Amino acid sequence: MGCGGIIRDGHGKLILSFAGPSSGNPRLAILNSILYGLNSYLSLGITNITIEAKCFMNIHCLLNSVDVPCDPEVFYIARAIKQLMVSIHIDYSHVLKDGNASARWLALFGAHIYGSNDFVKPNYPMPLSGLIRLDKISLPYVKN
């Protein structure tokens, strides 16, 4: 299992992408991606962000003001995210499964690498450059 994500500016220009391994289930991988992304945003001084997710069921624990019962790993990651959210304005956006092919590819890539990696231009992994261009123009990625 891996996690990954894309950090863009308000015009869709890529600032940073990241990938890394994540233990556990898909929900935990999504929360790890959000936590890593929020820490990256804060280190860049960005405090107004949008989180895109294909399923709000996976992040409902972040949307509640009260901590909801869940497994311990999810609870502590959700709590860490909520602590970061205090100083950030966050909007949430629903995307279809392949609506963010770049982040999906990075998460799959992250499952096969050791440790977390940040990627900035021109050091993107090979397929990522094309996927970023497709995402930016809202053209869906066609899997073969």
pLDDT at residue 94 tops 80: no
Instruction: Determine the average pLDDT of the residues in 100-129.
Output: 86
**Is the model more confident about 98 or about 120?**
120
Separation between Cα atoms, residue 140 and residue 98, nearest integer Å: 7
- Give the pLDDT of residue 69: 63
pLDDT confidence bin for 39, thresholds 50/70/90: very high
Domains of the chain in start order, with CATH, are 2-136 (3.30.420.10)
pLDDT cut 90: percent of the chain above it: 10
Name every residue whose Cβ is closer than 8 Å to that of residue 47 and which is 6 or more positions away in sequence. Answer: 41, 87, 88, 89
For residues 71 and 100, the answer to whether their CB atoms sit within 8 Å is: no
